[in-house]
Chains A and B, each alone.
Chain A
Amino acid sequence: MSTVRMQDSYSGMTPALPPASRSVLRQLWHDRWIYLFLAPSLLLFVLFVLYPVVSSLYFSLLDWNGFTSNARFIGLDNYIEVANDPLFWNAFNNTILFMVITVPIRVSLALIVAIILNDPRLPFANLFRTALFLPVITTTAIIGVVMTFVFDPVGGPVNRFLLETGLVDRPINFLGQANSALYTAMGIHIWKWFGVTLVYWLAALQTVPKELYEAAQVDGANPRQVFRYITVPVLLPFGLLILVITALDTLRVFDLILTLTGGGPFLRTEVVEVYIYRWAFNSSIPRLGYASAAAVFFGLATLALAAMQGVVVAYLRRKRNEL
């Protein structure tokens, strides 16, 4: 009995012969194991993914502080207020600045290091890779806390080093100064996630067929030619994907910013996620409706970026099939 069920489920469609005689209900009952297998995923999905997504859309239309029951429907007013709040645009700019500055640095530096580490004759390659990967596995919130001490103007080792080598006369308050805080946070972010981008590049480099290199060597190509005419064309599509993945990464810097600066000084490091958190959990009068509107607003921007990733992946697939 189970044999029959297995096979016709497997063959793809419902049995070809008597579709009319089989009601939908019977088909559902017939596939009951399938739905049972789906149940745990779907249950969790509906409760903690779908419901929150849909209801944050709804919340964004309310004037609601999250505690009382007297939520008032106000249509798109929250969105209008978000769009007119200079502090939202400050956070938005910080987020975009974060992306525009860190992504090219991370992606290009990681490529250079990946090419060096990809050399099979390089000694200690494993050690280097492990060292560069170490920050990736450490908890971001802990990094944020530790880094406030590393960059401390009074006793932190960075300022000690700068003072002792005479590079500066007086300590720099890296994270407490309006003009340096965001850039310091960017530096820490690059340091923390560099290893991931490195792994991506190493994976991409490994897809370059060895025969191509061997053929180039036989033909007497020099390393620069090999890089220009073999490595670059193969890596280019991967590079696009790595760029987009990395860009999406930089939208998730909540843990780091909250533990590092809390958005200060003077909101100079406040990214959109922290802005939302501030309105939802951390202000004297919480405004969940307003925070939700800001979240939806920004979520749409993220979606646009994600759609780009989809396009890039599709492009990659096509490219690969052509090869």
Chain B
Amino acid sequence: MRQRLLPGFVSEWKWDLRRIITVLILLVVCLVWVYPFLWMVSASLKTSREIFASGLNLVPSEWRWENYERAWVQANFSRYMINTVVITVATVALVVFHTSLSGYVLGRFKFIGQRFILGLLVATVFVPLGYTIIPTVQIAGALGLLNTLLGPILVLSSGHVIHILLFAAFFRSVPKELEEAAVLDGANFLQVYWRVMLPLSRPVIATVSVLTFLQAWNNFLVPLVFTFSRPDLRTLSVGLFAFIGENEIDWSGMAAAATLSLIPIVLVFFFAQRQFVEGLAGAVKQ
């Protein structure tokens, strides 16, 4: 009866209460979720003694910016940052370059050997690459790529079969007329790709770039084994890992170094949030 008299009121009120509780629970969950980051940033501004003495208090008694100076200058994290940025940017550029080229011809043309090449690529998609690190290091050594920045760049850029397939699927779906118009205007093979097809594929480029960026920036094993004897070529994560071994007591320097390592990627994430999320979602939507 009551519901029939006041249908809107009753249900909306109930909904609002539920919504408030939901939001409150989510707020608490999210606070717990980001707490390790808050703790890390706070630890980076304390002295090592204060980290362990001050308990749960996140606000430092005195803001110790010198921790950052120590990490940046003495512990060489400025160098590691440059290395990481160089490796990541070069890898993303190289991956977009080669996967769009091969995706274009694989998706758009028929040619001798196409099936064989496709089969070969796909067969290795699921081979867990971490397990093949031993011969990878060996061949890189033979090519003189160990202890260079180029080595990790080439290794991290190779494969990406999924991205080749993404480009191939996209280029296959582009209507033929667009290309024909360009051909009639006298465009050659390279021009059709460069002026017509590549600009069309911007959403795929965004997806591939973001996924490659995440992978290259976060990679640990490849730069770890490539820089065993050249500490100056370490990336941020390798540098941090080594930092603990070398400076066993400098917690606050470690926290500062970790914070520094996270700032760029968090910034990139905030500016390219949509591409990040859509790039990942693409794995499910296909």
Contacts and interface: CB of A to CB of B under 8 A. Distances in A.
Contact of A40 (B97, B180, B225): B97
B111 A9 contact: yes
B98 A299 contact: no
Interface stretch (A73-81, A132-140, A176-184): A132-140
Nearest to B98: A40
B26 interface: yes
A3 B192 CA distance: 11
B225 A281 contact: yes
B241 A259 contact: yes
B98 A44 contact: yes
Q: In the complex, which range does the number of interface residues on chain B fall in?
A: 35 or more
Given A56-B135, A298-B131, A44 B240 contact: no
Contacts of A288: 134
A200 B33 contact: no
B99 interface: yes
B60 interface: no
B51 A155 contact: yes
A259 B239 CA distance: 12
A123 interface: yes
A127 B101 CA distance: 38
Given A51-B135, A280-B134, A251 B128 contact: yes
Contacts of B190: 33
A147 B39 CA distance: 10
A149 to B, nearest CB: 7
A139 B237 contact: yes
B261 A146 contact: no
A28 interface: yes
Contacts of B266: 134, 137-138
A132 B97 contact: no
Given A37-B101, A42-B117, A273-B130, A203 B192 contact: no
B101 A41 contact: yes
Contacts of B285: 203, 207
Interface in A121-175: 121-124, 127-135, 137-143, 145-147, 149-150, 154-155, 157, 160-161, 164
Nearest to B269: A137
B218 A52 contact: no
Contact of A199 (B135, B184, B241, B280): B280
A315 B110 CA distance: 27
Contacts of B276: 133, 137
Interface in A44-93: 44-45, 47-53, 55-56, 59, 66
Interface in B175-221: 176, 179-180, 183-184, 186-190, 192-193, 214, 217-218, 220-221
B88 to A, nearest CB: 11
A48 B265 contact: no
A238 B284 CA distance: 7
A191 interface: yes
A207 B117 CA distance: 33
Given A9-B110, A45-B158, A259-B241, A252 B52 contact: no
B124 A306 contact: no
B111 A41 contact: no
Contacts of A41: 98-99, 101-102, 164
Nearest to A31: B111
Contacts of A160: 55-56
Contact of A10 (B51, B179, B188, B284): B179
Contacts of B82: none
B132 A40 contact: no
Given A38-B106, A41-B164, 9 more contacts: A5-B189, A38-B101, A45-B121, A47-B139, A131-B33, A133-B277, A138-B265, A139-B237, A302-B128
14 contacts: A2-B183, A2-B186, A48-B155, A56-B134, A123-B19, A141-B220, A149-B255, A199-B280, A203-B285, A248-B126, A255-B221, A302-B128, A306-B125, A309-B126
